[in-house]
Chains A and B, each alone.
Chain A
Amino acid sequence: MSTTITPPPGPTREDLARLTEHWAERASLRAWFSTVDHKRIGRRYLVTAGLFFVLAGLSALVMRTQLARPEAGVVSPQEYNQLFSMHGTAMIFLFATPMLFGFGNFLVPLMIGSRDMAFPRLNAFGYWVFLFAGLFMWTSLPFGAAPNNGWFAYVPLSGEQHNPGLHMDVYALGLLFLGISTTSGAINFIVTALKLRAPGMSLNRVPLFVWAIVATAFMVIFALPALNADNAMLFLDRRFDTHFFDPSGGGNVLLWQHLFWIFGHPDVYIIVMPALGIVSAVLPAFTRRGVVGYPLIVLSIVAIAIISFGVWVHHMFATGLPQLSYSFFSAASTIITIPSGIQIFAWLATMLLGRLVIRVPLLFVIGFVVTFVLGGFTGAMFAITAFDQQVTDSYFVVAHFHYVLIGGAVFPMLAGIYYWLPKITGRMYHERLGRWAFWLVFAGMHVTFFPMHLYGLFGMPRRVYTYRSEPGWDGWNLVSTAGSYLLAVGLLLVLVGVVHAVRRGRPAPADPWDGDSLEWSTASPPEPYNFPVVPRVHSLHPTWDERTAESTGAGATADRILSEGRRTLFTSELDAHTERAVRMPEPTLKPLLLAGALLVFFTAMLLAWYPVAAVAMVVVVATIAVWLWPPRHPDEELGVAA
């Protein structure tokens, strides 16, 4: 064991032994498959999403290689089209959201002082579904049957008539499958944050990262159904000849776009919001003060979550809808920049008023500010309809969204990786290596994507597998390609840094940064039960707060030690008053079984083996029924009258 915490005066040695007995999992193969520990599941999310990131990133490198010279023949047009579609789809659905869910899974229970998520088995299920859905989609690539219609899959090109084969069936079914994971994860986050906060953590003491995750989860709940409805209709149109999107049967092609973007726009904030939460979580440790304007930031998070449902038409500014509708959506898109501005200036104020400690996580936060602000500005430009009509579907848009996605989401993730690596692995990373990685990633990012603004304005449309030399885009494309290699080297160094830390890193103390939130009051890595004593929270910065610290030491009480059985505390939704201790579920294989049955179901649907699909569905229902079958209890415990 790399670190041991001296048993605080509160819990006795026996308490700790009992906690370990109830929570620890033996290192066996079965335990590996049956775990419900949020920390292990969170780590798996991070690793799996990282794997999909590498796959999608390597696809991008192939694309960039093809685009380095005009009329290059590195890949065929059909291959290129699958590559960019898988790149976009995987980056958005299989990397960005799951990666942030991974952070959430690992951190939310730790930050709110709980021993697990509200639904640990559902959590395990969500992970398996995510893994299987990701494999389901990526497997199609070597078969040449990967989605090939961009990440937003506009009809009628995605319809059976124009796109025969399995490509778009993989897309529709894969996203429906994945949606199960995302939805269950979102519900789990909300309920965890509502019911499992440590006593005393009233709403005004909830860490900003948790606020961000909860707001994100709410957006998932309201946004994802639109995508699911859309994909269900697409699949029915393709397979069973319905006419939702078929003008000759009375359908309408713009319905697809509306539903997609009713999901799609909130989705970009689903991606950026937890990342902004990471920024708010990282800053206090490196500015030595709390983030300025906590209430304003919470307000901004809530405002973004709401307004983001009212701007989707800005992705359809060139479809020729009525100008009145454009002016409305243009106004909404303009206004949504303001909550982001508030957050940026709150962080700037934090940095101005604090004492900066320049370590790798802070470097990535600074890189984030520079890049995200630039990307945000181009977003604000698109909000002006007339300008958007000129640059939409050109490389200018590609520049915008990589600035906000890489600057706004990937940089914070990298900051988060360096920041929480000691907590997750119990090892410190190598600072010099980290700095090299930062500078390469930062430079690579801007060298790759800044020129895209230019050649976008110079008329280069996106999603072209090649271009001719006459329009004069060659030079800039070459620069972009060179930049993307630089970026890849930087990311490779990040990977090397992580591997190095795990293998050779210095053992990390419990709180290497003197951080402010509760995860730093646990061991590195945390014990299976997270907290020997569930803390009683007295402020927004519990680890910096003596009374909170005392509540887990001298002030520990039996109702917060809970060493009898696998238990954690429920508290009230708003004020976090203690309600009752509850028993948490044991490890089980059922989540894996259920996810496996669903994988069989979706594969069978894809290959049109409908009887197999029906059987799989029966297994699904049976598993759920067994999973939830109520346990028996003696009558006096149930309280039965007649």
Chain B
Amino acid sequence: MTDRGGVVAAATGAEALSTELPVGRSTGWWGMVLLVVTEATLFACLLGSYFYLRFQYGPQWPPGGNGNPKLLTPLVMTAVLVPSSLPVIWAEHGIRRGQRWRLRCGLAATLVLGVTFLVLLATEYAENLKRFTMTTDVYGSLFYLITGFHGLHVLVGLTMISWLFAASLRGDSFGAHRHERVRITAIYWHFVDAVWVAILFTIYLSPRL
């Protein structure tokens, strides 16, 4: 006991303390993980509702001759969004070594990919809205609620990343010893990506099965 106390005392002395030591997980990390867990549950409820309503509805789905959802745009969207996690990972690894340029470039790349995703979503909406809206029938309601809610999450994620990006441009916030926020934001972004895969399966692929 005593010697551990000694080590800790040394490690928590005034100078040592002023640099955030990467000992253990931070409260912020846990907080974000739990937020993601509860958000994931929310998406699970929405996707669960989709399947419930679909199977209660009857054999023809989507109803009203809407036809199966088109696949091209969503697949492109997937190809844009899913890889957007890579630059974040790369940026995070970079800043852990104190390489700010990697942080800046990585975040910028993710921003570009994320915005592209939202633009593609908007074009998809523009096209779909001609055929059906949120008020057409329950399929329309589900489609716009689920994709819209996910789109909102992408937007929130992008806001967080651009905010990090701004801070990283300012310069004196992140370094090898202080990068908690990068790590935490990355968790959120990976989550937004992963949820999209579940949505792709539910909304776009499952009606074809």
Q: Is the CB of B42 within 8 A of A634?
A: no
Q: Is the CB of B98 within 8 A of A243?
A: no
Q: Is the CB of B23 within 8 A of A580?
A: yes
Query: In the complex, what's the smallest C-beta–C-beta distance from A595 to chain B, in angstroms?
Result: 18
Q: Would you call B90 an interface residue if the criterion is a C-beta within 8 Å of the partner chain's C-beta atoms?
A: no
Q: Is the interface of B mostly helix, strand, loop or mixed?
A: helix
Q: Is the CB of B49 within 8 A of A259?
A: yes
Q: Is the CB of B141 within 8 A of A630?
A: no
Q: Which B residues are CB-close (under 8 A) to A191?
A: 27, 30-31, 34
Q: Is the CB of B31 within 8 A of A240?
A: no
Chain B: which residue is nearest A224 at the CB level?
A: B38
Q: Would you call A374 an interface residue if the criterion is a C-beta within 8 Å of the partner chain's C-beta atoms?
A: no
A403-418 to B contact mask, C-beta < 8 Å, 1/0: 0000000000000000
A-B contacts, 15 listed (Cβ < 8 Å): A229-B42, A229-B46, A233-B145, A236-B141, A236-B145, A243-B135, A244-B141, A249-B141, A255-B52, A573-B24, A625-B159, A629-B163, A630-B181, A638-B19, A642-B100
Q: Would you call A317 an interface residue if the criterion is a C-beta within 8 Å of the partner chain's C-beta atoms?
A: no
Q: Which B residues are CB-close (under 8 A) to A250?
A: 53, 57, 63, 137-139
Known: A250-B137, A638-B175. A229 touches B45 (CB 8 A): yes
Interface residues on A, range: 35 or more
In the docked arrangement, what's the CA distance between A173 and B186, Å?
31
Q: Is the CB of A118 within 8 A of B175?
A: no
In the docked arrangement, what's the CA distance between A194 and B31, Å?
11
Known: A224-B38, A642-B101. A240 touches B134 (CB 8 A): yes
Q: Would you call B174 an interface residue if the criterion is a C-beta within 8 Å of the partner chain's C-beta atoms?
A: yes
Q: Is the CB of A187 within 8 A of B138?
A: no
Q: Would you call A546 an interface residue if the criterion is a C-beta within 8 Å of the partner chain's C-beta atoms?
A: no
Query: In the complex, what's the smallest C-beta–C-beta distance from B202 to chain A, in angstroms?
Result: 14
Interface residues of B in 125-147 (CB under 8 A from A): 134-135, 137-142, 145
Interface residues of A in 606-635 (CB under 8 A from B): 621, 625, 628-635
Q: Which A residues are CB-close (under 8 A) to B141?
A: 233, 236, 242-244, 249, 251
Q: Which A residues are CB-close (under 8 A) to B9?
A: 557-559
Known: A580-B21, A630-B181. A625 touches B163 (CB 8 A): yes
In the docked arrangement, what's the CA distance between A188 and B44, Å?
23
Known: A190-B30, A559-B9, A579-B24. A633 touches B49 (CB 8 A): no
Query: In the complex, what's the smallest C-beta–C-beta distance from A333 to chain B, in angstroms?
Result: 21
The A/B interface has a contact count, at CB < 8 Å, of 191
Q: Which B residues are CB-close (under 8 A) to A222?
A: 37-38, 41
Q: Is the CB of A255 within 8 A of B49?
A: yes
Q: Would you call B5 an interface residue if the criterion is a C-beta within 8 Å of the partner chain's C-beta atoms?
A: yes
Q: Is the CB of A639 within 8 A of B176?
A: yes
Q: Which B residues are CB-close (under 8 A) to A631?
A: 173
Q: Which B residues are CB-close (under 8 A) to A188?
A: 31
Q: Would you call A389 an interface residue if the criterion is a C-beta within 8 Å of the partner chain's C-beta atoms?
A: no
Chain B: which residue is nearest A629 at the CB level?
A: B167
Interface residues of B in 1-28 (CB under 8 A from A): 1, 4-5, 8-9, 11-12, 14, 17-19, 21, 23-27
Query: In the complex, what's the smallest C-beta–C-beta distance from A551 to chain B, in angstroms?
Result: 10
In the docked arrangement, what's the CA distance between A461 and B74, Å?
52
Q: Is the CB of B35 within 8 A of A241?
A: no
Known: A639-B19, A641-B99. A233 touches B27 (CB 8 A): no
Q: Which B residues are CB-close (under 8 A) to A431?
A: none
Which of A187, A241, A249, A637 has a CB less than 8 Å from the CB of B19? Answer: A637
Q: Would you call B97 an interface residue if the criterion is a C-beta within 8 Å of the partner chain's C-beta atoms?
A: yes
Q: Would you call A221 an interface residue if the criterion is a C-beta within 8 Å of the partner chain's C-beta atoms?
A: yes
Best-surrounded residue of B21, B45, B56, B176 (most CB of chain A within 10 A): B45
Chain A: which residue is nearest B175 at the CB level?
A: A638
Q: Would you call B178 an interface residue if the criterion is a C-beta within 8 Å of the partner chain's C-beta atoms?
A: yes
Query: In the complex, what's the smallest C-beta–C-beta distance from B101 to chain A, in angstroms?
Result: 6
Q: Which B residues are CB-close (under 8 A) to A639?
A: 19, 98, 175-178
Q: Which B residues are CB-close (under 8 A) to A629?
A: 163, 167
Q: Is the CB of A635 within 8 A of B27?
A: no
> Which residues of B come within 8 Å of A, CB atoms?
1, 4-5, 8-9, 11-12, 14, 17-19, 21, 23-27, 30-31, 34-35, 37-39, 41-42, 44-46, 49, 52-53, 56-57, 63, 97-101, 134-135, 137-142, 145, 159, 163, 167, 170, 172-178, 181
Q: Is the CB of B38 within 8 A of A243?
A: no
Q: Is the CB of B138 within 8 A of A249?
A: yes
In the docked arrangement, what's the CA distance between A500 and B51, Å?
57
Query: In the complex, what's the smallest C-beta–C-beta distance from B97 to chain A, in angstroms?
Result: 6
Q: Which A residues are CB-close (under 8 A) to B172?
A: 632-635, 638
Query: In the complex, what's the smallest C-beta–C-beta distance from B166 to chain A, in angstroms?
Result: 9
Q: Which A residues are CB-close (under 8 A) to B99?
A: 641-642
Q: Is the CB of B41 within 8 A of A638?
A: no
Chain A: which residue is nearest B58 at the CB level?
A: A250
Chain A: which residue is nearest B10 at the CB level?
A: A559
Q: Which B residues are CB-close (under 8 A) to A635?
A: 172, 175
Query: In the complex, what's the smallest C-beta–C-beta distance from A156 to chain B, in angstroms?
Result: 14
Which of B35, B135, B139, B181 has a CB less than 8 Å from the CB of A187? Answer: B35
Q: Is the CB of A255 within 8 A of B53?
A: yes
Q: Which A residues are CB-close (under 8 A) to B5?
A: 557, 559, 578
Q: Would you call A572 an interface residue if the criterion is a C-beta within 8 Å of the partner chain's C-beta atoms?
A: yes
Chain A: which residue is nearest B37 at the CB level?
A: A221
Q: Is the CB of A640 within 8 A of B98?
A: yes
Which of B38, B134, B163 has a CB less than 8 Å from the CB of A242? Answer: B134
Chain A: which residue is nearest B11 at the CB level?
A: A580
Best-surrounded residue of A122, A194, A251, A582 (most CB of chain B within 10 A): A251
Query: In the complex, what's the smallest C-beta–C-beta distance from B178 to chain A, in angstroms?
Result: 5
Q: Which B residues are CB-close (under 8 A) to A420?
A: none
Q: Which A residues are CB-close (under 8 A) to B12?
A: 559, 562, 580-581
Q: Would you call A477 an interface residue if the criterion is a C-beta within 8 Å of the partner chain's C-beta atoms?
A: no
Supplied contacts A190-B30, A225-B45, 12 more A-B pairs, CB within 8 Å? A119-B31, A225-B38, A225-B44, A236-B141, A249-B137, A259-B45, A573-B24, A578-B5, A580-B11, A635-B172, A639-B19, A641-B176
Q: Which A residues are CB-close (under 8 A) to B18?
A: 637
In the docked arrangement, what's the CA distance between A512 and B138, Å?
62
Best-surrounded residue of B42, B63, B138 (most CB of chain A within 10 A): B138
Which of B24, B57, B176, B181 has a CB less than 8 Å from the CB of A638? Answer: B176
A241-281 to B contact mask, C-beta < 8 Å, 1/0: 11110100111101100110010000000000000000000
Q: Is the CB of A642 within 8 A of B14?
A: no
In the docked arrangement, what's the CA distance between A225 and B37, Å?
10
Query: In the complex, what's the smallest C-beta–C-beta distance from B134 to chain A, in angstroms?
Result: 5
In the docked arrangement, what's the CA distance between A138 and B98, Å?
53
Known: A233-B145, A249-B137, A630-B167. A564 touches B27 (CB 8 A): no
Q: Which B residues are CB-close (under 8 A) to A196?
A: 27
Q: Which A residues are CB-close (under 8 A) to B1?
A: 536
Query: In the complex, what's the smallest C-beta–C-beta distance from B118 to chain A, in angstroms?
Result: 16
Q: Which A residues are CB-close (under 8 A) to B140?
A: 242-243
Chain B: which residue is nearest A187 at the CB level?
A: B34
Known: A639-B176, A641-B99. A221 touches B49 (CB 8 A): no
Which of A190, A243, A582, A628 has a CB less than 8 Å from the CB of B34? Answer: A190
Q: Which A residues are CB-close (under 8 A) to B27?
A: 118-119, 191, 195-196, 570, 582
Best-surrounded residue of A118, A224, A249, A562 (most CB of chain B within 10 A): A249
Query: In the complex, what's the smallest C-beta–C-beta distance from A286 to chain B, in angstroms?
Result: 34
Q: Is the CB of A641 within 8 A of B135?
A: no
Q: Which B residues are CB-close (under 8 A) to A378?
A: none
